[in-house]
Amino acid sequence: MGKLLLLLLAIAVVIYVVTRLIETRGHPFRRSAPRPGPGRPGPPRPLGPDDDPDFLRDLNRRRRQKKKDGEE
């Protein structure tokens, strides 16, 4: 009975190691996912209206214009 358990344990260890090697593609016991290397950066992200200086400048201009029109 003891030999059978040792055999099953040995088979389980072999299966674990083989599975681990296949998962990590030859880098056993790697802790984290591979990081992307330096390369071309992705396309620029679109700016929201609150991040766009032209939009904010125009918004301030319109607000001042409304305030000026309201005072007269």
Question: What digits encode the pLDDT tens for the residues 5-56?
Answer: 999 999 999 999 888 888 877 565 556 666 666 777 777 776 677 777 888 8
Q: Which domain holds residue 6?
A: 2-30+47-71
Instruction: With respect to residue 36, please indicate whether it lies within any of the assigned structural domains.
Output: no
Q: What pTM did the predictor assign?
A: 0.36
The residues, ordered by sequence, that sit 6+ positions from 69 with a Cβ below 8 Å of its Cβ are none
The structural domain count of the chain equals 1
Instruction: With respect to residue 40, please indicate whether it lies within any of the assigned structural domains.
Output: no
Whose tokens are 């319109």? That residue is 62
Instruction: With respect to residue 56, please indicate whether it lies within any of the assigned structural domains.
Output: yes
E strand or H helix at 13? helix 2-24
Give the whole-angstrom CA distance, residue 17 versus residue 23.
Answer: 10
Q: What is the pLDDT of residue 13?
A: 97
